[in-house]
Amino acid sequence: MKVIAAMNGLVSSDVATLYALRYAALFDYTLCLLHVLNPADRREEVELSMAEAEEAATHYRVKTERVFLTGEPTHAIREYLAANRTDTLFCSTRIRTKKRFFQNSLSEKLSRLSLPANLAVVRVAHVNAVFVTENILLPIREDRLSAQKFAFFSSLAKAFGAATEIYSIHLTDRRGLAALDTRTAKMLFQKINTRLSHYVNTMKLLDLPLTIKHALTGREIDQILHHLARHDFQLMIIGGRRGSPFPGFFRENPMERLFWHTPVNTIAFYARDRE
């Protein structure tokens, strides 16, 4: 089984590779350093990054391999994934700017495809955070947490030996919020805690500290950003939503908003398509 890091020689791609490395080390998978050759390539930079990744991999006793593909990047990667059993593909992302509005990044294109592997899109806010990950946040809506996402979250937590927090957000409007008294809110939170209790038990088995916190809000992205600014997290994992092939012209996609404004490194996780 492989873990693939899609590399392009940029700083954020190097950071994404380090996340992939820690993940691969946990399961003893081979780390595949993959690059799709293109005309505007800086191959020497990519190879330098690969060399650094290989050096880091020796420290974690992870086997690595270099793979250079050619052709249209998404097709090439898709074909490679089809031919090679892969657990997760790690890929860094970039900011969507007005200038490059119609020019989707590789990560965006991949996130819209149905892939035979999990996809982890990494947005880097702090270059060094990957070396000092102590607290990981997983925001969810109420108790909606898939087993795959939790598995990815707990694996990374185990890989880093980090403390974890599930931040459960209950959406309500301002009037609903005003009508809710403390007792009712606590009962609601208790109900969510009960539903999430099996995840808590799993984390106990993994010997990882997990806290569940709750929020009642009408604006979940703002609430998550507020929570991140208040607490000391180095990594956030969010559930990726397979987007429309057309970018939002009028309204900002919430995921993009979170990616754009996040003050911590963030991984959007897209579970593999069921075979």
For the bound state, the minimum distance from the C-beta of residue 99 to other proteins, rounded and expressed in Å, comes to 9
Instruction: Determine the Cα–Cα distance for residues 63 and 122; give it in Å rounded to an integer.
Output: 22
Residue closest to 55 by CA, chosen among 33, 77, 36, 87: 33
Over the window 42 to 61, marking each residue x when it contacts other proteins by CB under 8 A and - when it does not, the resulting string is --------------------
Single out the residue of 1, 37, 75, 131 in contact with other proteins (rule: CB under 8 A). 131
249 CB-contact burial (10 Å; exposed 0-12 / middle 13-18 / buried 19+): exposed
Tell me if 83 contacts other proteins by CB under 8 A: no
Nearer to other proteins, 12 or 111 (CB): 12
Please say whether the beta carbons of 91 and 121 come within 8 A: yes
The Cα–Cα gap between 28 and 75 comes to: 28
CA count, 13 A, side-chain hemisphere, 166: 28
- 125 touches other proteins (CB under 8 A): yes
Contact between 92 and other proteins (CB under 8 A)? yes
Per-position x/- string for 5-34, each x denoting binding to other proteins as judged by CB under 8 A, each - no binding:
-----xxx-x--------------------
Helix axes 11-27, 147-160, angle to 10 degrees: 90
Interface residue list for other proteins (CB under 8 A): 10-12, 14, 92, 94-95, 97, 100, 124-128, 131-132, 174-175, 177-179, 181-182, 213, 217-219, 222-223, 225-226, 228-230, 232, 252, 260-264
